[in-house]
Chain A
């Protein structure tokens, strides 16, 4: 990794902090799940943090973020309050959707975080529509739509890519290719080969593939893509190669992956890798980073405490927000 000229030391420490926050937050989630405080289905993002954090660092506040159900990382990186995210996971009244949504459907309109979507591929046409409105209103906002390799095979992906390109809409399609959709490897589901970013070729959507384990590379590629998009050049497709370190969900014992493949990816863990870069290349002190670690851990503890102490929603919450009138 080269030292990036446009990033101050403070910026870089912030990137580290955000990745560490997502990691520690999710480790806490796993713990809370085992204790029965988080119920249902829980999908962790551990291993993929460089993507959410790198992209968030390149976005403007007015930009929209739309994502899939593995959404804690995107939400925290975008600046959603960890306390309210945790409370949502706990199903509490203080959660972002008052406990209605849970883990997979986080959102916060104040952060232009337009939601996690649990119907695979369902978010892509919606992102395209947000972009169409943005173009119509001449707002210069970009929409980032995260999706996984599994979504490549849903019709919505192809329909959205075609429309966005045809109408030159400001969408950044961001593919988090972690090589698996649930327990099934991409080679067994996608006919287009490993150069997945070429999925954009047919629709004339310019594309690049990048290393999803390198937060600086993700940030830089996202900045460049957004620059093009903001000049009304239409959509862009970024494919970041990454790996989820845990199972698909808490219920998945991950019996389908090769142990040496797992070890190879674990060795590229984006957080220690970046930490090493910070101390060795960017000359940031160990002490400063340790201080960050302590702060992050406190923030996560505070989020869990907040969630724990928050009230559960009552039955009347069921009838809120069904329609405006």
Chain B
């Protein structure tokens, strides 16, 4: 059998096609553009960009790192751009909130070496705490946006983004969304830029690169002028395409991923050749000439875009200023909330054009409503053997004990795998806000009311943005318990290393040592699979009169299993002695471990899923759960 040639992200094979994830295409674009410095903090849906670039950096001769948070990642990449090498960072939408501070000043200074900032929004909140539209932030920062409609465009836009960034001296944002980052498509490879630039930084650049009032007041004009130059160029960029249909009275404008939904919808409605269509690849600044050309040829237009009416508002403004009499529609027909789909767009455009929907979606809804009650719920959950399950179970035991004299506990959580413990039966969250908020908001909950407050977050989040709030609790002597759920990995996004893990030749930072250095007087470190010890430590911490820290340590179950497999260590699963099991179902009802099942009224452990953490055995009142069985 002929084994087909295996193309990879580093294949020097211009013209060959490869099936790629959107995030892989973005990584390939960086490689083709000759990126020299890359830095990022993981976050769904952006993580695979960094996964690939970090893994391939050595082979391709560039620097790539997992940074401690998005602000540092942005700053590092910006510093490299100052030194005149090509630099890139990527982050999820809420990551840009963390990097917002340097962004707002970096834009005054602009890019020296090409600087592409990849921002992945998450419409529909597949894996996020909100669905903010970061095109708004780019506009606020005078940063031009490239918005791809396919994996191919994503790759090409990264390459062009680097070139344009150097040509115009400005940072370029590549705006992805979940469906682009986690979408796939055929991508034709381009050549790889092989020469590496020797960076430099001359102190003569002082006037440009010191953000102090005397200089940055002037640089604000420079920044505005840069955007004006870009504005004049976008009409000619290949990613903006206008198709005028003779005699058409209706126009459709679609940006980025929405282009596919809009075009397919028009085809499905049989309207493709009856309306004029503007495909937008630069939502900011918009191709004004093309917008005007379209809008002056029709009597009404509809803008198809996900989330905010960003393009819609700009189109309306352009037309109003140019005195073009056209009605601009958008969010009256296209949902403001959630991810778009071809169905939503077909329905919106059908209503806008007052034509019939191509199929009866009502019938589909009826089938769905009839079917839903039959479908078992399958929410994501803490893995079998997850250390957080032990920590949360122990917190609940401690909370039951302290409830009598201190009142009901308040659990304030954070962003990560452990958020899966928020559901029944662990209910490990009463509140959560943002990265680092697990500690920060806990400070305020402890000041705003008198019941005991436990703030918890993971090790990666602790290093990301938890430490300042810990210091704050010490500095202001706030009586709050802060728990670090230390599984030594950034697990939710794919087990990226963080400062807690021994890597890059350093032994791994210990949260307890940092807490000690921060002046915390009560610190305990526990093995979170030891329920009794963990529960006792949690209770002592809650009763301590001042800020207290518990580090609940246990390696991520997936990593632990992986390590054991690599070391050739056999995992002997637990099983239930059916002769002594009283069927009290405490293990089932209080742990919700996916490996513990009820089959024909009998509680059983699925040996294929059990990773032998022993948590169920530890809490079994009749001691019926045994490793390896009888």
Judge: A and B partners, yes or no: no
Which A residues have a C-beta under 8 Å from some C-beta of B?
Answer: none
